[in-house]
A and B are shown apart, each in its own frame.
Chain A
Amino acid sequence: MNPEDSHLQCPLCGQSHRAPFLEPGQRALCVRCGATLAERGRLGPDAALVFALTGLVLALPSLLLPFVTLTKVGNERTVLLSGGVEGLWMSGFGLLASLVLFCGILAPLGLLTLLVAVLWAETRANPVEWHETLRHWAHGVERWAMPEVQILGVMVAFFKLGTVVNLSVGPGLWCYGAASLFTLLAWRRFSLQPRGQQARATPAPASA
């Protein structure tokens, strides 16, 4: 076993700990700064993979189905999830369009793909050696994946346009919302899941 698996280093303060055995529903906290280091959910170990897979399955319709339909005195417009990116791009804001494309679409999609790949690799008896690299990438991508912020932005827009334009939510937006929820659920379990010795089914023997 990788010796790293049996201990936990706090990402915030650098304190290292021996990994405790966690019962379902328990968390391990850093003794020095109090940060949550690991958490064993009440659901089984495969829950994160199931959530990530569901999110990935929902991602495709969220890209392709109508996101929002707008009507203004008889004129109807249907926009896709990528509508905001196009709007900025056509107005000459290419840099900002790239940022919205990355934070709203590419990073969330990349995160789900990485989560599925890593979690699937870890269900195998001998995880392939690149799973640590993918895990590292997932942490890098997660900071920039903001689907829940995009949803709040769209909701604010709905209220703002309330009197100006008629809006209706399309199936694409529902799928995007659901995918975003499953991403959050998968990420929480993924980033705090007990690993290695901690993840074993039985408590570690009372130490010498």
Chain B
Amino acid sequence: MKALRPPDRSSATHAAALAISAVIMLVPAYSLPVMHLGIAGQVASDTTILSGILQLWRDGLGGLAAIVFTASFLVPLLKLAGLGCLLVAARHRPGSHARLLTRIYGAVNFIGRWSMLDVFLVAFLSGAVRFGKLASVEPRPGILAFGAVVVLTMLATHRFDPRILWTEAPSAGSGPDDARAVQAAVPRPSAFLSPSS
């Protein structure tokens, strides 16, 4: 099991390579059109991630625009920025702020999947809106680049082993025999047992 292996130092190098690839793919993902929308009686238009968000805003769907902006723009950028912090910290100042950085890792891991939103959106539209000249949606290469950003960022997060953020060894060995040595740590103080929300 993963948890019983020693911390994987090489994980940071692999995660960095994946994260850098994701940053490079951000350029086509945000600049190329992600879909083509043709409606009878209107000028056919190519939409990018950001112009799609702007369109929702102009249509008076501010709340929805905020959701898509968060999932498609903020989440990928915050995720990559968070990963960047973790990678720099693990390399240059291991051990400092380990608790905070571990929390950041948890958050990055949790929010990652939501940036698939735009990929599912374009997939659904291009499968459903097929009315020939009346109305049709087709995917465009930007969405492929955007999908690559999401997958590369998720792979980078999974590859990164957060245990390398901690310098001192855990207060007990990793073997099951040592488990009793830390018995005082969990069961007794009520601080470590909290009602679930």
| Residues of chain A at the chain B interface (Cβ within 8 Å) | 3-4, 6-23, 25-29, 31-35, 39, 41, 68, 70, 72-73, 75, 77, 79, 83-88, 91, 93, 95-97, 99-100, 103-104, 132, 136, 143-144, 146, 149-150, 152-154, 156-157, 159-165, 204, 207
Residues of B within 8 A of A161 (CB): 125, 129
Given A14-B163, A26-B193, A88-B123, verify A20-B187 contact (CB < 8 Å).
yes
Residues of A within 8 A of B182 (CB): 15-18, 31
Tell me if B4 is interfacial: C-beta within 8 Å of chain A: yes
Given A13-B98, A161-B129, verify A4-B176 contact (CB < 8 Å).
yes
A-B contact count (CB 8 A): 225
Contact (Cβ within 8 A) B113 A91 = no
Q: Measured between alpha carbons, how far is A16 from B185 in the docked complex, in Å?
A: 10
Residues of A within 8 A of B105 (CB): 12
26 pairs across A/B with beta carbons < 8 Å?
A3-B176, A3-B177, A6-B179, A14-B163, A15-B170, A18-B182, A18-B186, A29-B194, A31-B182, A32-B171, A33-B98, A75-B131, A79-B127, A83-B128, A85-B127, A87-B125, A96-B119, A99-B151, A100-B123, A103-B116, A132-B1, A146-B116, A149-B114, A149-B116, A149-B117, A154-B124
Q: Which residue of A lies closest to B118 (CB)?
A: A153
Q: Measured between alpha carbons, how far is A79 from B124 in the docked complex, in Å?
A: 9
Extra A-B contacts (12), CB below 8 Å, given A25-B196, A29-B194: A12-B102, A14-B170, A25-B195, A32-B99, A73-B134, A77-B130, A87-B124, A96-B119, A96-B123, A136-B1, A153-B124, A157-B124
In the assembled complex, how far is the CB of residue A127 from the closest CB belonging to chain B, in whole angstroms? 16
Q: Measured between alpha carbons, how far is A88 from B126 in the docked complex, in Å?
A: 7
Tell me if B61 is interfacial: C-beta within 8 Å of chain A: yes
Contact (Cβ within 8 A) B121 A153 = yes
Given A33-B99, A164-B39, verify A18-B180 contact (CB < 8 Å).
yes
Residues of B within 8 A of A88 (CB): 122-123, 126-127, 139
Count chain A CB atoms within 10 A of each CB in B64, B126, B147, B183 and give the residue with the most: B126
In the assembled complex, how far is the CB of residue A80 from the closest CB belonging to chain B, in whole angstroms? 9
Contact (Cβ within 8 A) B120 A70 = no
Residues of B within 8 A of A96 (CB): 119, 123, 139, 143-144, 147
In the assembled complex, how far is the CB of residue A42 from the closest CB belonging to chain B, in whole angstroms? 8
Residues of B within 8 A of A26 (CB): 193-196
Q: Which residue of A lies closest to B150 (CB)?
A: A99
Residues of A within 8 A of B106 (CB): 12, 35
In the assembled complex, how far is the CB of residue B29 from the closest CB belonging to chain A, in whole angstroms? 12
Q: Measured between alpha carbons, how far is A72 from B132 in the docked complex, in Å?
A: 11
Q: Residue A34 contacts which of B3, B103, B122, B176 (CB distance < 8 angstroms)?
A: B103
Tell me if B135 is interfacial: C-beta within 8 Å of chain A: yes
Contact (Cβ within 8 A) B123 A87 = yes
Contact (Cβ within 8 A) B119 A99 = yes
Contact (Cβ within 8 A) A91 B117 = no
In the assembled complex, how far is the CB of residue A122 from the closest CB belonging to chain B, in whole angstroms? 16
Residues of B within 8 A of A163 (CB): 59
Q: Measured between alpha carbons, how far is A120 from B119 in the docked complex, in Å?
A: 35
Contact (Cβ within 8 A) A84 B127 = yes
Q: Measured between alpha carbons, how far is A143 from B67 in the docked complex, in Å?
A: 21
Count chain A CB atoms within 10 A of each CB in B68, B138, B187 and give the residue with the most: B187
Q: Which residue of A lies closest to B126 (CB)?
A: A87
In the assembled complex, how far is the CB of residue A31 from the closest CB belonging to chain B, in whole angstroms? 4
Contact (Cβ within 8 A) A35 B102 = yes
